[in-house]
Amino acid sequence: MAFTDRTLACVDCGSEFVFTASEQEFHASRGFTNEPKRCPDCRRARKSARGDSGGGYGGGGGYGGGGGYSSEPRQMYPATCANCGRETEVPFQPRGTRPVYCRDCYRTMAPGGGGGPRR
């Protein structure tokens, strides 16, 4: 398929920018079906505002969030240890269908002292 330069309008600033034939070829080789909506300057500004450092279009492959890692504190949920009864916090929502352990009990119940409770 032959690509030709196309002029597009940025959805953020309204300025026109050229979507070059080589950029179109790159998009096609990566399987991208949507053309860019933002000019390079607005794309760069948006990327830096989000804190993305990945290269190329969409920063980090466009999978939205960098693999689930965040600089924000992790959501913790209150729970009562099923072994010692101590109040604790865990990084998942307890459902009540399985026992929840505090950090100390979890470590002592694990084979070798550090891999999780025996099942």
pTM confidence score? 0.41
Contacts for 35 with CB less than 8 Å, ≥ 6 apart: 6, 8, 19, 24, 27
Tell whether 18 is covered by a domain: yes
Domain that holds residue 40: 6-52
What is the domain count for the chain? Answer: 2
Tell whether 82 is covered by a domain: yes
Q: Which residues pair with 8 in a beta bridge?
A: 17
Tell whether 69 is covered by a domain: no
Tell whether 65 is covered by a domain: no
**Per-residue model confidence (pLDDT) at position 2:** 84
Tell whether 14 is covered by a domain: yes
**Per-residue model confidence (pLDDT) at position 111:** 76
Task: Print pLDDT tens along the chain (119 aa).
Answer: 688 999 999 999 999 999 999 899 988 888 888 889 999 999 999 988 887 655 554 444 444 444 566 677 888 889 999 999 999 998 888 888 999 999 899 899 877 665 555 55
Tell whether 71 is covered by a domain: no
The stretches of 51-117 forming alpha helices (DSSP H) are 103-109
